[in-house]
Amino acid sequence: MLEYDTSWIGKEFDRYTYNVTKDEIIEFAQSIGETNPLYTDEEYAQATPYGSIVAPPTFCIVFRSHARLPDLKLSYGKRGFDGGKECVFLAPIRPGDTITGVDRIAQVYEKTGRSGSMIFIVRESELSNQRGEKVAVVRQSLIRRD
């Protein structure tokens, strides 16, 4: 049975803030080859219901905590890698926004696959803008194994 420090589940372990610029949004959109001018062309975007450039949905992944995960006192799992993401997009992110992220450990569980046992640590980042509106929730599954 998986043993770890369950007291971290649901507890905030990091909080961070980013200011969003128009240049960053345009650079991000261009870096994945976005063709929709809503993300890059202010004049075009002003004529849409959005009224200004907005960020492509997955721009929310740039708001990253640099804090290490809390020590969960896991019984095994020395190596780690990114197993996947779940993004819920709740409101547009715009130039001039100040985004605050709050990180928690949402879940820890074990799975046994072909190559042995793996531990999944689900890190949840809740992102809100300067008006307190939640703009996105990102859940990252970190996989650890020996």
Partner 1 sequence: MGETVAYFEEIDIGDEINELEICPTTADVIRFVDVARMQSGRFTDNEYARKEGLPGAIVPGNMSLGFLSRMLTEFFPTGTLKELTANFRATVPHNTPLICSGVVTEKQSRNGEHLVFCDVMLGNEDGERYVQGTAQIALPSRAD
Positions touching partner 1 (CB under 8 A) are: 24, 27-28, 31-36, 56-58, 61-62, 64, 79, 81-89, 141
Q: Which is nearer to partner 1, 8 or 59 (CB)?
A: 59
Least distance between partner 1 and beta carbon 56 (Å): 6
Q: Which is nearer to partner 1, 81 or 109 (CB)?
A: 81
Angle formed at CA 47 by CA 44 and CA 49, multiple of 5 degrees: 120
Least distance between partner 1 and beta carbon 5 (Å): 26
Least distance between partner 1 and beta carbon 54 (Å): 11
| Closest C-alpha to 60, from 123, 12, 127, 133 | 127
How many Cα atoms occupy the beta-carbon half-sphere of 69 within 13 Å?
Answer: 24
Least distance between partner 1 and beta carbon 23 (Å): 10
Contact 100, 128 (CB under 8 A): yes
Least distance between partner 1 and beta carbon 92 (Å): 9
- The helix (run of H) or strand (run of E) holding residue 46 is helix 42-46
Q: Which is nearer to partner 1, 65 or 117 (CB)?
A: 65
Per DSSP bridges, beta strands 98-113 and 116-128 are antiparallel
Q: Which is nearer to partner 1, 13 or 89 (CB)?
A: 89
Q: Which is nearer to partner 1, 31 or 112 (CB)?
A: 31
Distance CA 106, CA 104 (A): 6
